[in-house]
Structure 1
Amino acid sequence: MAENIHPFYGTHRDAMEAAMRHRLDLADAMLRERAHLTGIDGIRREVMDEFEIVLTQMPYVGGAASRMSDFFMRLMGFMAISRVLRRHGVPVPVIGEIERETYKAQLLAVSEAERLASGRQFMSPENQALLREQAATSATESHQKDFPEDFVYDFVEPGPEDTFEFGINYKACGFCKLAARHGDKEILPNICGLDFVAYAARGIRLERAQTLAGGASHCNFRFSRLSSD
């Protein structure tokens, strides 16, 4: 199966697998107490086996040149966890709760200084300029032809009455496309819920009133800095 993994993801495979094992360590108690599962060692093996399948399904969207490649590498492992727990009869809301708390614990294992520096970089004028550029590229016919499984999005400037610093409207979602192709629509909202955890850990407030996964025309991400209080 390994030969079917895209070479770009193959170079990051060890790190992604290590992150998966760390997540399973962090989730151990919750799997027992909230999901009421037994035979956790077997569950772990099943999740890692499913992750091998997920690795072959990850769409290539441009590698290091695309900011969305990192989204796939950081979050696709939760698709494997969701699939396995769903097969074991764990309710979808419980799966989402376990994944959010696990992801939060994993993110907070990084020093606060490093996390907040990453948040400042994301909110910086330089990164906003990059986001504008990549948003414009994502909507071009040539990019969509080359990377049909990629995200398509617009950069949103705040209006006079807005309180956010900038926004992104995702008009097409790589995770939605993959979920539709592999029968994962039911668990897709759990992946969406991880966004709030990821940005908060970096000192960023995410506001989002709708998602493609929820049937909306686009996902309306709005970003501002969290208070330091």
Structure 2
Amino acid sequence: MAESIHPFYQLHRAAMEGAMRQRLDLAKPMLRERARLSDVDGIQQQVMDEFEVVLTQMPYVGGESSRMSDFFMRLLGFIAIGRVLRRHGVPLPMIGDIERETYRAHLLTVPEAERFASGLQFLSPENQALVREQAAKSATRNHQQAFPDDFVYDFVEPGPEDNFEFGIDYKACGFCKFAARHGDDEILPSICGLDFDAYATRGIRLERTQTLAGGASHCNFRFSRLRSE
């Protein structure tokens, strides 16, 4: 019997599928010219079929009450793209490049004013308070027992010598857990690479020197305003 999609993701399914189709349309030239794939329409359908599988695999981590639910909904579709391209023999570095450039092009379809307003909201004291609160909750035993596939992270305050506005140290990563469970470890770094454009297109500079996927003890995200040259 086919696995079911969690009701929270079912509620957002149409929007997620729409975003996937838009990304695949943006990726078509790269799939033809770089990956040398001829049946691009067929590849697109294979990715959408694989995305249906991913939807049944998406872990529920609290829905609207968890900021990480949005990360899963925005990014796990790239797992479907990576799986299909890998089956067609596309090299892993090329998969990473195609996914990152596709994601950036998709993000840039949002008007600049809207993107930058979102960036300011992310850096705002109100959002920092929310991140601080959810970080503390993520580390509790009750939360980890209720949502074992969620992220676990610490809020990082800047010190006197630091030049970032705030940071997050991810001690456990939902994407790493997902990849380990479903055999996606090879394509996991492609997901990590999406973070830089996700923030840069909103006017935020992300500094990160290590990741859990790369074998480090934690992912060290540091955020500041991206200043134009």
Could you state the TM-score of these two structures normalised by the residue count of structure 1?
0.98
Confirm or deny that 1:9 pairs with 2:16.
Answer: no
Aligned to 1:84: 84
CA-based RMSD of the aligned residues comes to 0.9
Letter in 1 for 2:143: H
Percent same amino acid at aligned positions? 79
The CA distance in 1 between the partners of 2:94 and 2:192, in whole Å, is 15
1:107 pairs with 2:107: yes
Report the Cα distance in structure 1 between the residues aligned to 2:36 and 2:224, rounded to whole angstroms.
38
Q: Secondary structure of the equivalent of 1:36?
A: coil
Q: How does 1:1-229 map to 2 (within 5 A)?
A: 4-229=4-229
Moved over 2 A (4+): none
Q: 1:52-85: per-residue Cα shift (whole Å, max 9, x none)? A: 0000000000001100000000001000000000
| 1:2 to 1:110, Cα distance in 2 relative to 1, 3 A | farther
- Alpha-carbon offset, residue 41 of structure 1: 1.1
Query: How many angstroms does 1:191 deviate by?
Result: 0.1
Segments of structure 2 that go 5 or more residues without pairing to the other structure are: none
Deviations 1:80-133 (A, max 9, x none): 000000000000100010011100010000000000000000000010011100
In structure 1, C-alpha distance between the alignment counterparts of 2:40 and 2:99, rounded to whole Å: 16
Aligned length: 229
SS in 1 for 2:76: helix
CA distance in 1, matches of 2:170, 2:202: 21
Matched AA of 1:156: V
Q: Give the alignment's TM-score, normalised by structure 2.
A: 0.98
